[in-house]
């Protein structure tokens, strides 16, 4: 019996000791809590819900039960809510209460400095101070380069901020520590490859992403990087071939599959094959969004439909279907990038009341000075961007151009990827093309020359250049 008990004790301590041996002490006496924390972090890092474990939500529920006072359990639970950008502390009393309780709990316990920094980072994130949160996560990474939670939280937040070089270099600084023997190291290659693609280092990005896929072909994030490379270079046929060949490996990544299908559909829009794009939308993009309500899925749906709308494609009831998941976020104002995508759906569904409500509530929040980083950008970026969409839909193309053109190089600050923000560039081109002003139609031609050099042999750019030539000849 004594021998059996000793073996059990060793097994019970295994996960706790593994974290300790990695220099990442977790302040809990529950090995079960450590195991569940590990399971949640693994699912977050790999963009998957492991249903055999109950998925992320199931694991979080068990984690809280295993040790209700485990501070890092509260950190990962609250962090995933905040990073998910589907709930706002400002509006959601339950989430606000959870963050306050986490901070209070941390003050009543003997925690490591690393754990205290995690709490502080989420506390300032909850108040909208995203750059400051990243500074705190970077402080953790300087001393603990294999802290995957700090790395992933900062990576996602840099993305929201449009801090492209910081997103790349944050991973680069810890990259040498992620040797093959460190669990999940191949996924860190995927994070780094995405930072490379967003700083236009396409060949290097593709190389690193392929290195990650050679280790784990189900890495949907590395697939996503390569999809971006092909999108940014307008290598449509190469992109279509890659997505078709790898689909079986990433389609079960329920947190990212919808987004990868979105990239697939973009290639068809680029080619002008709208029915093929709509087939992917109807089969793989819309159903996931309507079921999950996740913000990434919502953004993909709004963005894709709006691109098709700009191309003149009839969309039937699709905008109205989408309204059911976007309308509840009208007053969120967590990220300006999200706001403008919700707005696309309101305009598409011709819901004038909700459109006005989004704009009015954003204007009210933008009036007062406050610490929220995103809202501080609203007066000179968020509101003009939103208004440009409204003016375009109202047929005021000249006004849309006047609003959008002066801020085009600053829009990176609202976050998202270059590929995602391309919808803003397309709006500007279409508004200029449809302007009554000769000067603005000339601007459209100039913008298309610029686009043509950035993405040689782009079928969409070629279509728009032909349209611009036709408009010019009729003028």
What tens digit of pLDDT does each residue of 180-234 get?
Answer: 999 999 999 999 999 999 999 999 999 999 999 999 999 999 999 999 999 999 9
Q: Given pLDDT bands bounded at 50, 70 and 90, which one contains residue 146?
A: very high
pLDDT for 228-249, tens place per residue?
999 999 999 999 999 999 999 9
Enumerate residues 6+ apart whose C-beta is below 8 A from 400.
388, 389, 391, 392, 427, 428, 431
Average pLDDT over residues 37-59: 94
Rg (CA), the chain: 23
Express each pLDDT in 248-298 by its tens digit.
999 999 899 999 999 999 999 999 999 999 999 999 999 999 999 999 999
**What is the domain partition of the chain in residue ranges?**
10-155, 178-246, 302-475
DSSP code string of 27-66: --S-HHHHHHHHHHHHHHHHT---GGGTHHHHHHHHHHHH
May I ask the CATH architecture of the domain 302-475? Alpha Horseshoe (1.25)
For residues 249 and 473, the model is more confident at: 249
pLDDT above 90: percentage of residues in the chain? 90
Of 38, 31, 28, nearest in space to 8 by CA: 31
Helix 236-250 to helix 257-271 angle, to the nearest 10 degrees? 160
* pLDDT band with cut points at 50, 70 and 90 for residue 16: low
- Mean pLDDT, the chain, rounded, equals 94
Q: What is the pLDDT of residue 474?
A: 61
Rounded Cα distance, 435 and 110, in Å: 64
């Amino acid at each position: 019996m004594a021998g059996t008990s000793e073996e059990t004790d060793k097994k019970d301590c295994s996960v706790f000791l593994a974290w300790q041996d990695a220099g990442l002490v977790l302040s809990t006496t529950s090995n079960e809590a450590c195991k569940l924390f590990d399971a949640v972090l693994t699912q977050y890092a790999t963009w998957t819900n492991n249903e055999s474990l109950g998925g992320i939500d199931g694991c979080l529920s068990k984690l809280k039960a295993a040790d209700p006072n485990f501070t890092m359990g509260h950190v990962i639970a609250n962090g995933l809510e905040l990073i998910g950008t589907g709930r706002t502390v400002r509006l959601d009393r339950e989430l606000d209460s959870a963050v306050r309780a986490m901070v209070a709990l941390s003050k009543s316990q003997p925690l490591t400095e690393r754990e205290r920094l995690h709490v502080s980072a989420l506390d300032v994130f909850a108040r909208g101070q995203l750059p400051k949160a990243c500074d705190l996560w970077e402080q953790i990474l300087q001393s603990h380069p294999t802290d995957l939670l700090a790395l992933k939280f900062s990576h996602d937040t840099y993305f929201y901020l449009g801090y492209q070089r910081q997103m790349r270099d944050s991973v680069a600084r810890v990259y040498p520590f992620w040797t093959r023997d460190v669990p999940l190291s191949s996924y860190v290659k995927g994070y780094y490859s995405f930072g490379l693609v967003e700083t236009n280092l396409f060949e290097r990005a593709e190389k690193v992403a392929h290195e990650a896929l050679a280790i784990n072909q189900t890495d949907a994030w590395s697939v996503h990087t390569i999809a971006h490379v092909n999108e940014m270079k307008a290598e449509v046929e190469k992109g279509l071939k890659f997505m078709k060949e790898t689909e079986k490996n990433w389609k079960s990544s329920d947190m990212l599959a919808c987004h990868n299908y979105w990239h697939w559909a973009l290639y068809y829009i680029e080619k002008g094959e709208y029915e093929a794009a709509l087939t992917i939308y109807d089969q793989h993009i819309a159903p996931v969004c309507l079921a999950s309500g996740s913000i990434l899925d919502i953004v993909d749906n709004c963005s894709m439909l709006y691109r098709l709308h700009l191309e003149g494609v009839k969309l039937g009831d699709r905008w109205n279907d989408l309204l059911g998941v976007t309308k509840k976020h009208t007053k969120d104002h967590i990220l300006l990038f999200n706001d403008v995508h919700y707005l696309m759906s309101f305009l598409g569904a011709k819901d004038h009341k909700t459109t006005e409500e989004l704009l009015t509530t954003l204007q009210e929040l933008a009036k007062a000075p406050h610490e929220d980083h995103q809202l501080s950008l609203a007066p000179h970026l968020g509101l003009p961007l939103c208004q440009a969409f409204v003016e375009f839909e109202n047929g005021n193309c000249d006004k849309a151009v006047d609003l959008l053109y002066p801020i085009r190089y600053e829009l990176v600050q609202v976050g998202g990827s270059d590929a995602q923000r391309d919808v803003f560039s397309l709006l500007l081109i279409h508004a200029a093309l449809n302007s009554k002003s000769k000067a603005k139609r000339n601007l459209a031609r100039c913008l298309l020359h610029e686009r043509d050099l950035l993405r040689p042999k782009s079928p969409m750019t070629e279509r728009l250049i032909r349209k611009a030539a036709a408009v010019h000849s009729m003028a």
